[in-house]
Amino acid sequence: MLEALNVGSIDIGSTGDIPPIFAQAAGADLVYIGAEPPKPKAEVILVAQGSPIHNVAELKGKKVAFQKGSSSHNLLLRALQLAGLKFSDIQPVYLAPADARAAFQQGNVDAWAIWDPYYSAALLQGGVRVLTDGTDLKQTGSFYLASRPYAERNGAFIEGVLDTFTQADALTHSQRAQSITLLAKTMGLPEAVIDSYLDHRPPTAVTPVSAETAARQQQTADLFYENKLVPKKLISGPASGSPPPHKERNHESEYVLVFTDPW
């Protein structure tokens, strides 16, 4: 999706906190046009119900499946850090969700870091235990992005789109039964999975990127660089106050956050 944004095939995209970091490290000219707060219950590290692993520290030396460059990559990295471990202390197994689920169910990996609705599907199927979720891990949340040229030309339109996303999220929860039916049909998942998915995702507003969110994203970028997961150190600017040289205006009173190389 971020590649499609970068080449202009789509105008606006929504993603977790990590894909933009990898995209920027690869030279993509994208800007952050909006943010949602973290939903710490919406992604987890799972182990089998009968696993001898009962805390994150016990993942040392174990095989952990997750999708590289995803929000679950960040969940895992922060959970390891909180437990006093480094990324090099585990055996990462980079797999897309469907393949990771198969490897997990077959016992080929010891744990699986994953987001919803895959988490809810696994939970309802049974035989799994939540080792940890995103609570207390100081994650950044999710973002809405656009290419820099598009954001510079379409600030007022973008503002309206983000307001619409906020309204749609509120409507999804206020008309929950209808939303579950519609989402289940659209996503091809059982309604029980969607019900659990919504439980883990309370309604939130899409807002401009705050200084706090910018600082958290900077910490995340630093964490990935320190663990040699991105090839260069990335710097983010503040999201309020006077715009520095690497910040571009998107309408009269707000600015979009841009990641830039420090050299």
pLDDT of residue 175: 96
Residue 99's pLDDT is what? 97
145 Cβ contact list (under 8 Å, min separation 6): 2, 5, 12, 13, 14, 15, 20, 30, 31, 32, 33
216-235: per-residue pLDDT in tens?
Answer: 899 999 999 999 998 888 87
pLDDT for the residue numbered 26: 86
Q: Which residues of 9-23 are buried (b: 16+ CB within 10 A; e: fewer)?
A: eeebbebbbbbbbbb
Residue 112, phi-psi category: left (phi > 0), alpha (psi -120 to 50), beta (remainder): beta
| pLDDT for residue 1 | 82
Domains of the chain: 2-38+140-170+205-260 (3.40.190.10), 40-133 (3.40.190.10)
* pLDDT < 50 regions, the chain: 237-263
Residue 260, classified by CB atoms within 10 Å of its CB into exposed (0-12), middle (13-18) or buried (19+), is: middle
Token readout for 12 is: 């606006």
Residue 90: its pLDDT value, please?
98
